[in-house]
Amino acid sequence: MSSVINETLLAIKAVFEAGVNIFNGGTEVSSSNPLPVAFSTATLVSLSGTITTGGAAQVLAASNTARKGWFVQNNSTGDLWVNRFGGTASAAQPSILIKAGRLYETPAGGSGGNALSIYGATTGQAFTAGEW
């Protein structure tokens, strides 16, 4: 029985050592036949502003299914909260806490198209924000 297992393991090892061939258009990938790479372009749009009414959520960005990402830099001395799930931001979960002076940026491809809402406790809290 152990010889069958050993032969099987040796066969598997040989396959892995031989490597995997990747093809593009029926021809093996090489420096003269590379895989195609598609770059997507996006325009950065400013969402910067201030909290217009302290203690009340406001729209940071409307729903946008073409959005690839977004960021918020808290330029104030108080906390800001952002709800990325399409709901109203508040000083609690599921909103994201952005402490004074901090930056939050979505991971690549992790933005979704939901509306964004922002909350700050004090009128006039400033933030730099954008979406692309």
Say if 32 falls within a structural domain. Answer: no
pLDDT in 10s for each residue of the chain, 132 residues: 677 777 877 777 776 677 777 788 888 888 888 888 877 777 899 999 999 999 999 999 999 998 889 999 999 999 999 999 999 999 999 999 999 999 999 987 666 789 999 999 999 999 999 998
CATH code (residue 100): 2.60.120.770
Q: Exposure string (b/e) for 72-100, b if CB count within 10 Å is 16 or more? A: bbbebeebbbbbbeeeebeeeeebbebee
The verdict on residue 10 lying in a domain is no
**Alpha-carbon dihedral sign for residues 8, 14, 16, 21:** negative
Domain of residue 91 covers 45-131
Distance CA 102, CA 76 (A): 9
